[in-house]
Chain A
């Protein structure tokens, strides 16, 4: 693996060290450019380091276009050529959830993080970091497979008999549809998990001599024990609300009241604040709690 040999410990001292001639030109274009501090990491388990890029300011920029410009130029403010910053994105319309990262310390999608607003809040500089609750793959790319593992764990699907033609699905009230639609907009971006103080990072390192399968098994076990998170609890609500899904509601409630279940929620309620889709996650949690209590009581008394 090729890694930059030099790492900048303090980017500010780096820029102070530049010759005075370029300082004036830097000052001159300070108004139409800004700095982007990126926390980079070359691979899993490696040390992270800050890197600063200067980006020319253009109208209607968001953090995606900032990263595109960085990729295009791939040069730090010290003039060092570097590999383009790696990041994940796809739809750029805030429906795919891919480009989630910490922007000025707050978790959100890069596509809706508008440069003009960020610079109004914090002039001159934007800070980009990978999410902290997931293992870093490279730079701003993190491994969110745990988010999908949670969906597998709670059996987040409608268990239909077959895909043959069996007529329409059951009817549903407008009220139920409206609630279900809210939950169903979840794009598994992980914002709720990043902001949740009860959701902790799992980063396992494959041991020497440990086979891929053994490592996977260990990771699955760690995921199984750990907190599901708000998104998966909302998916339990979604599928238990569905007329067909409700037929297997007990299976999902077993997961919900098992290890890593809904009981871990600490009611900090950051999830609902940071959710880019405005999903009523705390309502889902409260409803899931009600169902969980009822489920456990029923099981206890064999009702």
Chain B
């Protein structure tokens, strides 16, 4: 029997992990990537990777608590069995990465060191300097290279995924790919295809994502019938450096060490920030949240910075939204000892010294929680069946999704340092599942008649030929992209309002119409980046529309999705009795919300080029949903009220929700 073949689209952490594991399982693996694997976006992750470890275990931590933190942080929108499996496997995955040579920071005794990260009380995060993602990616890239030398892996490192080849059973039997140097279009027959192409930051114009995070591979399979889930959940990071080309992350530790956020009281004050006197500065976080000040939780900081610039018009610059993050008042030794790494990044990219002048920062789109819908198999006890062919499989048989482009692990908001573990976990565990899938096939998909492949190849070739023939007279694709980014950023990031979402949808539809005619200025048949971009631009719209539609329909606040019109009622009374009533009311709304909205948004692409949305219940069988109260005013009374309700309810049997 010939060696079974798998094609992986994307060579970041998830894709490389899958390639390595599949090669070990004696698969013939092809990795298709827009960039050399080593240059993938995973390299940008700075903070670390979460898992329970021997140290935290002795302080009372457990896999269960990691699991609990993850679903709590995700506002209970994840199916719990895969998340629990991830938390269970995390320690072993870190061990594996350690064996693969990741240069984790060490304790004096030579053990891996851990730090504490947001959303947990334990020092659960292993890290390698300030470039954990890069180090993890490199370790996997090296293993893939090892298999490449052994002839088990073939890399296509400047290739664009154009679409799936589907056999007559509707199974994925390979894909059509274009070499973006020779512009040759060819097919790669396979028994299974894995999409591991990462997030879709490009929909928002500039984000913290890399330039290859176009979302095009995901969009292409979405348009071929794969479902897309929880699209509206987009994580925005409060503090990033707004560059002309991209938004670069500034770690929260700047505020943690005493950094203050402010804007000049006079809009777009032309003076140098150092020359603006205290009385003319507006420390809006300290003013609006006297208790927490600059250390309000991430989502609140994000919203307030967004509001001060967009609603109050107090952005430091008129043409580019930003506020000051000021550390100039901190002692030099604190700056140099604790913040040197961050200040260096700012200095490198802004050419200004944050020790003498405040940094200019603004929230930035950071992570795509949503993604391709994928399945999983659970036992009756709610455990994941590891090695099941259903795990990570999309609704198209033989098409799998892993890493940032699947939707399974982060729910409505991602916990810091959980993305890396999710990527490697899904990458490593998808492999045995695929082996089981391939074994179960009567006729191997890769053995589909050549005519099927030739047909899809020809279709894509014709499409490309038409694209090139279009010429340079249409709308400018780069400007269309900027307009799309502006529309998406305005309507679908931090603060979402139904009227704005409706308007943005109209605007995006109009832009989409223009994108069909966008100019292709470069008619070269060699390394034509222009044509590749124009094609990717057109594929941004289906996902953009899905995000907008999902956000429009979801009338609640959950995780990263915030609609002021549907905000939870305030618990702000000073009268204890009144306060209790307010808390009860809060809990009522919370439960009602969960009844209506604790559901996965599942979109499919209709023949009218519109997303069709339906909802799917969420498997919360392991940890019942509870209020997510990070830093919320009145958290104490709400918790009290909630506890009372729960203890009353425990007398009744728990209801399991089937996925």
Contacts and interface: CB of A to CB of B under 8 A. Distances in A.
A163 B432 CA distance: 12
Contact of A158 (B95, B101, B479): B101
Contacts of A187: 38-39, 43, 134
Interface string A151-177: 110011111101101111101111001
A87 to B, nearest CB: 8
Contacts of A238: 101
A42 B580 CA distance: 73
Contacts of B436: none
B522 interface: yes
A261 interface: no
A122 interface: no
Given A65-B245, A187-B38, A171 B428 contact: no
Interface string B282-317: 000000000000000000000000000000000001
Contacts, number: 206
B529 A84 contact: yes
A97 interface: yes
Contacts of B516: none
Interface in B105-140: 105-112, 128-129, 131, 134-135, 138-139
A168 to B, nearest CB: 5
Given A86-B529, A91-B39, A160-B99, A137 B181 contact: yes
A163 to B, nearest CB: 6
A96 to B, nearest CB: 4
Interface string A178-198: 001100110110000000000
A232 interface: no
B308 to A, nearest CB: 20
B478 interface: yes
A116 B39 CA distance: 27
A168 B93 CA distance: 9
Interface in A75-114: 81-84, 86-98, 111-112, 114
A243 B18 CA distance: 25
A173 B110 contact: yes
A124 interface: no
Give the secondary structure class of A's interface.
Answer: loop
Interface residues of B, number: 74
A95 B38 contact: no
B272 to A, nearest CB: 14
Nearest to A68: B245
A163 B246 contact: no
Given A84-B530, A172-B106, A148 B145 contact: yes
A239 B527 CA distance: 35
Contacts of B522: 83-84
Contacts of B526: 1, 42-43, 138
A151 B155 CA distance: 15
Contacts of A167: 95
Contact of B103 (A72, A90, A96, A184): A184
B282 to A, nearest CB: 22
A171 B527 contact: no
A169 B126 CA distance: 14
B476 interface: yes
A231 to B, nearest CB: 12
Contacts of A222: none
A157 B144 CA distance: 9
A97 B39 contact: yes
Interface in B242-270: 242-246, 248
B20 interface: yes
B212 A90 contact: yes
Interface residues of A, number: 74
Interface string A116-132: 11000000000000000
Contact of A157 (B142, B181, B246): B142
Contact of B524 (A42, A144, A185): A42
B593 interface: no
Contact of A169 (B38, B99, B105): B99
B22 to A, nearest CB: 10
B143 interface: yes
Given A74-B521, A96-B35, A137 B95 contact: no
Contact of B349 (A3, A62, A90, A188): A62
Contact of B521 (A64, A68, A81, A174): A81
A64 B245 contact: yes
A160 to B, nearest CB: 5
B519 to A, nearest CB: 9
> Which residue, A157, A172, A244, has most C-beta atoms of chain B within 10 A?
A157
Contacts of A2: 523-525
Contacts of B244: 58-62, 65
Contact of A181 (B39, B103, B348, B528): B103
A188 to B, nearest CB: 6
A92 B211 contact: yes
B2 interface: no
> Which residue, A81, A92, A188, has most C-beta atoms of chain B within 10 A?
A92
A92 B106 contact: no
A30 interface: no
Contacts of A292: none
B98 interface: yes
A128 to B, nearest CB: 15
B243 A83 contact: no
A71 to B, nearest CB: 6
Interface in A34-75: 42-43, 58-62, 64-65, 68, 71-72, 74
Given A91-B210, A157-B143, A160-B99, A72 B478 contact: yes
B111 A166 contact: no
8 contacts: A2-B523, A91-B41, A155-B146, A158-B99, A171-B106, A174-B106, A184-B135, A238-B101
Given A65-B244, A91-B211, A168-B94, 7 more contacts: A1-B525, A71-B478, A71-B530, A93-B246, A160-B143, A173-B110, A238-B101
Q: What 10 A-B pairs are tightest by C-beta distance, nearest first?
A: A171-B110, A83-B522, A169-B98, A157-B142, A65-B244, A138-B527, A158-B101, A96-B39, A72-B478, A169-B99
